[in-house]
Amino acid sequence: MEDDGKESYKDGDHSEDLNFEYECTSDESDDMVDVTIDKAKADTINVDGFEKLITNLTIEDIWGLVFDTESHVCEFYAEYAKCYRFVSRKDLKLVDANGNINTRQLARIRFIRHYRTGKWKVSVFESKHNHPLYPPKYRHLIAVNRGLNDVDKIQADSLRACGVKTCHIMGYMVSQKGGYDKFSFTSKDLHNHISKTKRGKFTAEIFEQRWSKIISKYGLAENE
């Protein structure tokens, strides 16, 4: 990765850098627009009051984006990565642990925050990748995109409390959602959630009760 992070905008000096790359340039635009992420609507951002799909953003659009906070920057690029089927990571370093310049990847974006406005603006953007991306139908199964939402967790916990086996819960929820392609998690994610819930409910009192039953059942009281 070449050292192009020293660029600054003509309208003021910057105070901080924020760099994103993908895991595993263009001329600056004069039209700057404030952006917010609409979490309720997937793949959509709000640009000056108008909703726009992230996949419909042009390179010029991206160069013109301005964010109020660092968290908004992170949310935007995470959604961008999800839409284009790759994984992003936040990194402020230009070199690896051995001090070598990292050149194995292309896609990245860098933001700078100006002293005067406090706004975050794009200073470096590269959209190309040096490897094939996930097929669109599998993008929801990328590790960072997977997971049970609150509704899924409540439903899974309720079914499990009624004695329904995990495999049957999975089958029921797949049928309910209309197929695996509409699922945001895997059977492993479901098993992990249920196991975590069980561990959270396993208190010291429950342990003592079960331990007492074992002692009584096998006549081990004299061995204590």
Going residue by residue through the chain (224 aa), what tens digit of pLDDT does each one get?
333 333 333 333 334 445 554 443 233 333 344 444 444 445 676 666 667 777 777 777 778 788 888 888 778 877 777 777 776 666 655 566 676 655 555 667 777 888 788 888 877 777 776 666 767 666 666 766 677 888 888 888 888 888 889 899 988 888 888 887 777 788 888 888 888 887 766 667 777 777 788 788 777 777 66
Q: Could you give the maximum distance between any two Cα atoms of the chain, in Å?
A: 84
* CB-based contact 96:102 (threshold 8 Å): yes
Looking at the structure, tell me whether residues 27 and 128 fall in a common domain.
yes
**Exposure pattern of 60-81 as b/e (b: 16+ CB <10 Å)?**
ebbbbbbbeeeebbbbbbbbbb
Q: Say whether both 24 and 110 belong to one domain.
A: yes
My answer on whether 19 and 130 are in the same domain is yes
Is 90 within the bounds of a domain? yes
CB atoms within 10 A of CB 42: 12
Q: How far apart are CA 36 and CA 69, in angstroms?
A: 10
For residue 184, the enclosing domain spans: 146-217
Total tally of structural domains belonging to the chain: 2
Same domain, residue pair 47 and 132: yes
* Residues 162 and 95 placed together within one structural domain of the fold: no
Q: Does residue 60 form part of some domain?
A: yes
Domain limit, last residue, from 136, 154, 185? 136
| Residue 1 domain-assigned (yes or no) | no
108 and 49 within one domain:
yes
The full length of the chain comes to 224
Query: What does the pLDDT read at residue 89?
Result: 67
Q: How far apart are CA 129 and CA 124, in angstroms?
A: 15
Based on the fold, state whether residues 130 and 55 are members of the same structural domain. Answer: yes
Element (H, E) at 56: none
What per-residue confidence (pLDDT) applies to 199?
73
Of 36, 28, 33, 34, residue with least CA distance to 12: 28
Please state, in angstroms and rounded to a whole number, the distance separating the CA atoms of residues 190 and 184: 11
Q: Does residue 104 form part of some domain?
A: yes
Could you say which DSSP state residue 122 is in? E
Q: Does 197 share its domain with 161?
A: yes
The whole-angstrom separation of Cα 55 and Cα 43 is 8
Say if residue 25 is in the same domain as residue 46: yes
pLDDT at 76: 81
pTM: 0.47
> CB count, 10 Å around CB of 113?
18
- The residue whose two tokens read 């990328």 is 142
pLDDT at 131: 67
At 62 the pLDDT is: 79
Q: Which helix (H) or strand (E) holds 77?
A: helix 70-83
89 φ, ψ to 5°?
A: -140, 145
